[in-house]
Structure 1
């Protein structure tokens, strides 16, 4: 999953959340995203850098066939939602 700051100003993502349609939630720690920069959020384990953070999960979270990801700020306001694929019921 990638989050891109499209503004010129840096943003602190502390307390922001990324949630999938099944209710899995990842809360971002103290991560500063520079203006016009992108950060990648990985499901598995790894060492965090300026451009990559890790959820340290041993299980898959994101469904490759269909999913909806919602990014909310530290006040719970929806910043962005992205869907892909087609859900079958």
Structure 2
């Protein structure tokens, strides 16, 4: 083999090694964006109900019909303390002292109510989720875990999180 062929082979081998290292480093980083560093579970926005229209749209009952469901598909509970759920306008709900059980779902309602294991309340007196909006779920480090967008025609887009 000539010297130029050997040099080319070495360069290709080095480039392949660098590419493999970059891909290997990127995979854990992408996975970390979906989970809190404290668990191996998959937490995501599983459903949204944003319709609170009509005459009684500002009533507490109507506000509590607006909710975002957050699901934990893992076999372990996930501590959501410090996680946030926000809309496009910047209205933010922060999870406080809440652990989402294994294979469980919690609905975060807009209005006032008494928190339970399956229902949390933002205690707001006006709508949060609009007919065209985006719900963002971030972990306690501020990393985007999941994002769901919709418009008045009910088109839904999911980013992050596992889907069925």
TM-score (norm 1): 0.92
Match of 1:20?
87
- For 1:46 and 1:3, the matched residues in 2 are separated by 18
Alignment map for 1:37-76 (pairs within 5 Å): 37-63=104-130, 65-76=131-142
| Unmatched runs of 5 consecutive residues or more in structure 1 | none
Q: Kindly indicate which of the two structures has a greater share of residues assigned to strand.
A: 1
More helix, by proportion: 2
How many residues align? The count is 85
Q: Which has the larger radius of gyration?
A: 2
Unaligned runs of 5+ in 2: 1-67, 153-164
Coordinate RMSD, CA, aligned = 0.9
Please state how far the C-alpha of 1:8 moved relative to its aligned partner. Answer: 1.1
**Alignment partner, residue 42 of structure 2:** none
Instruction: List structure 1 runs of 4+ shifted beyond 4 angstroms.
Output: none
> 1:85: Cα distance to partner?
1.2
